[in-house]
Copies of this chain bind each other. A is one copy, B any other.
Amino acid sequence: MAGGKKAAGIEPLQRLVAGDLSRVNDVIVQKMQSPVALIPQLAGHIVAAGGKRLRPLLTLASARLCGYEGERHIPLAACVEFIHTATLLHDDVVDESDLRRGLDTANALWGNKASVLVGDFLFSRAFQLMVSDGSLKVLKILSDASAVIAEGEVHQLLTSNDTGTDETAYLEVIEAKTAALFAAACRVGAVVAERPEAEEEALERFGRGLGIAFQLVDDVLDYSAEQKALGKTVGDDFREGKITLPLVLAYSRGDESEKAFWRRCVEDMDQRPEDLQHALQLMQRHNCLDECLARAADYARDAHDGLSIFHDGPIKQSLLDALDFSVARAY
């Protein structure tokens, strides 16, 4: 965000595709119905909590950017949101996180069993939506993304509590678990518009850069005061022993006594009340958060460049505003 200008945020994006997004929400509500009452209850909880609908917005806007005027992007945007929601449900199970987006997690309210199985249901519904679309090209993009996401989630699990995790491994994890779906959500927009491969790839590049920047900033926010303003607690990742880039940098730059501190806290999971504060000080000392944000800005620039082949216009501008916001929300 150049020159301290206030970020437009994602509101322009939401406004430009508001009609489409409302129809996506209709599809979501309709497709989570089931005679098994727990399914719409639990899925409704998590979809209602569902935040900004960033991923389906990307599909809608990408299709419009490519001049698409048909209907296929609506169910496919719902499909993308279902894949995301299923991942959240399964992530809640495994992370034993207590709060997400300021609401009780489905897991806390209904238990692990229900979260796993309703997640499976939403994932299956996502595939049914793709199959109904009928394009093998779309099916390949989204089924490949699903496999990459699952692989990334397992990889992340393996890096948990492991201070040996390096920046390369961290980036592999977030590319897989977060950026792959952003990239696929964008690419699908070009595919339904039947645009040349170059536009598919440009949108995929935009989505990937945005996704990585978004996740980097998310991981910074977990250690930052701005977090409180968002109604979230600070230090969840630290308390869970989750290894994100701020910690990777702090560990690699720490002296022996600092390394011992990190190992005690996130490998042995032996944490005392004052440890989070000390962790924040070490990150400050080694400039870790700012450096993560600089990395995020690099990826955002690459995402920005991805869109250069498209003509300027309100849709393109709204995507760039959303990109700016993904980084600027940390400030």
Contact = CB atoms under 8 A, between A and B. Distances in A.
B120 A90 contact: yes
Contacts of A113: 93-94, 157
A117 B34 contact: no
A128 interface: yes
Interface string A128-161: 1011001010011001101101110111011000
Given A131-B143, A136-B131, A123 B121 contact: no
27 contacts: A34-B154, A36-B155, A37-B158, A38-B154, A90-B116, A93-B112, A93-B113, A93-B116, A94-B112, A112-B112, A113-B157, A114-B157, A116-B116, A117-B157, A121-B147, A121-B151, A121-B154, A123-B123, A124-B146, A124-B149, A124-B150, A127-B143, A127-B146, A128-B144, A128-B147, A130-B143, A134-B136
A74 interface: no
A202 interface: no
A37 B155 CA distance: 9
A255 B17 CA distance: 62
A118 interface: yes
Contacts of A34: 151, 154
Interface string A150-182: 110111011000000000000000000000000
Contacts of A123: 120, 123, 150
A240 to B, nearest CB: 11
A39 B149 CA distance: 13
Interface in A173-195: none
Number of copies: 2
Contact of A117 (B124, B128, B130, B153): B153
A48 to B, nearest CB: 19
A109 to B, nearest CB: 14
Given A131-B136, A134-B136, A143-B128, A117 B38 contact: no
Contacts of A131: 136, 139-140, 143
Interface in A268-325: none
A126 to B, nearest CB: 9
Interface of A: 34, 36-39, 90, 93-94, 112-114, 116-118, 120-121, 123-125, 127-128, 130-131, 134, 136, 139-140, 143-144, 146-147, 149-151, 153-155, 157-158
A226 to B, nearest CB: 29
Contacts of A143: 124, 127-128, 130-131
A154 B112 contact: no
Most central of A36, A146, A149 by chain B CB within 10 Å: A36
A290 to B, nearest CB: 31
Closest 7 interchain pairs by CB?
A94-B113, A124-B147, A121-B150, A120-B150, A124-B146, A127-B143, A117-B153
Contacts of A120: 90, 123, 146, 149-150, 153
A68 B36 CA distance: 38
Given A37-B158, A94-B117, A113-B157, 19 more contacts: A36-B151, A38-B154, A38-B158, A93-B93, A93-B113, A94-B112, A94-B113, A114-B157, A116-B116, A117-B150, A120-B146, A120-B150, A120-B153, A127-B127, A127-B139, A127-B143, A127-B147, A130-B143, A139-B139
